[in-house]
C-alpha cells in the first residue's frame, strides 16, 4: 500500500498547492480546539487529538501516531480528508468553517457538518472497500462505527437520526455494488 499512499499524496499536492500535514500536538490552535470541544460536547469528545484527523483549508492535522499507522489506514483516511480539502476550496474557508461549525446548530442538529462528513465518509467507505474488499464495509461492526460518528457525541451529535444515516450508508454500498466492486 505504500506506493498507493504516496501516489495519493502526490495527487493531492498537485491538486492543492500548499497542502501540508501537521501533527495536532504541534499546533496550539489544534490544542485549543481540543479543549473547546471537551467543553462543548460535555466531555463526550475527548479523543480529538488522539483519534481524529482534521482538515482545515489546505492542512490536514493528524494524530501523534500518524507515521506509525499502516499505509492502508493512512491511504483510506487521506481519501476522506481530500473530500474536505475540496470542500474548503469550493466554499472558501470562512464559509466552510461557518457552515461546518454552526449550520444550523453547533450541537445536535448540524445539517451542513453531516453533509460534509457524509461526503468524507462515503469516500472512506469506497477506499476501505477498494483496499480490504466489499466484505469489509458490509461488516456490521464497520457500518456501526461509521453510523456512530454521525449520531454520537464524536462530532457533536451532528445528525442524531440513526435510520436516515443507515439509509445513507446503504446507498453508498448500493453504489459500490453497481460499480461492480467486490
Ligand atoms: Zn471528516
Q: Is 52 left (phi over 0), alpha (psi -120 to 50) or beta?
A: beta
Mean pLDDT over each residue of the chain, to the nearest integer: 95
**What does the pLDDT read at residue 105?**
85
What beta strand segments (E) does 44-164 contain? 54-56, 59-62
Residue 103 has pLDDT above 90, yes or no: no
User: Count of alpha carbons within 13 Å of 70, Cβ hemisphere only?
Assistant: 7
CA of 165 to the centre of ligand 1 (A): 15
Highest-pLDDT range among 4-13, 42-51, 92-101, 102-111: 4-13
CA of 181 to the centre of ligand 1 (A): 23
What residue has cell string 496550539? 28
Strand partners, 61: 22, 54
CA of 105 to the centre of ligand 1 (A): 18
Q: What is this structure's pTM?
A: 0.94
CA of 114 to the centre of ligand 1 (A): 9
CA of 59 to the centre of ligand 1 (A): 13
Who contacts 53 (Cβ-Cβ below 8 Å, separation ≥6)? Answer: 60, 61, 62, 63, 66, 77, 80, 81
The CA angle 45-107-160, to the nearest 5 degrees, is: 90
CA of 121 to the centre of ligand 1 (A): 7
CA of 176 to the centre of ligand 1 (A): 20
Q: Give the containing element (helix H, strand E) for 23.
A: strand 20-23
CA of 179 to the centre of ligand 1 (A): 24
CA of 32 to the centre of ligand 1 (A): 19
**What does the pLDDT read at residue 11?**
98
CA of 67 to the centre of ligand 1 (A): 19
What residue has cell string 457525541? 153
Is residue 84 a contact partner of residue 52, using CB atoms and an 8 Å limit? no
Amino acid at each position: 500500500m505504500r506506493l498507493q499512499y504516496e501516489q495519493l499524496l502526490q495527487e493531492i499536492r498537485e491538486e492543492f498547492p500548499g497542502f501540508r500535514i501537521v501533527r495536532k500536538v504541534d499546533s496550539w490552535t489544534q490544542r485549543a480546539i481540543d479543549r473547546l470541544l471537551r467543553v462543548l460536547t460535555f466531555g463526550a469528545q475527548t479523543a480529538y487529538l488522539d483519534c481524529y484527523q482534521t482538515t482545515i483549508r489546505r492542512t490536514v492535522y493528524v494524530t501523534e501516531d500518524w507515521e506509525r499507522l499502516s499505509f492502508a489506514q493512512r491511504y483510506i483516511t487521506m481519501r476522506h480528508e481530500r473530500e474536505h480539502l475540496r470542500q474548503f476550496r469550493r466554499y472558501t474557508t470562512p464559509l466552510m468553517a461557518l457552515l461546518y461549525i454552526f449550520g444550523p446548530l453547533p450541537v445536535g442538529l448540524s445539517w451542513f457538518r453531516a453533509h460534509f462528513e457524509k461526503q468524507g465518509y462515503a469516500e472512506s467507505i469506497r477506499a476501505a472497500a477498494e483496499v480490504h474488499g466489499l466484505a469489509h464495509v458490509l461488516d456490521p461492526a464497520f457500518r456501526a462505527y461509521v453510523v456512530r460518528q454521525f449520531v454520537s457525541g464524536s462530532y457533536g451529535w451532528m445528525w442524531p437520526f440513526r435510520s436516515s444515516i443507515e439509509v445513507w450508508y446503504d446507498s453508498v454500498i448500493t453504489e459500490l455494488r453497481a460499480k461492480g466492486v467486490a
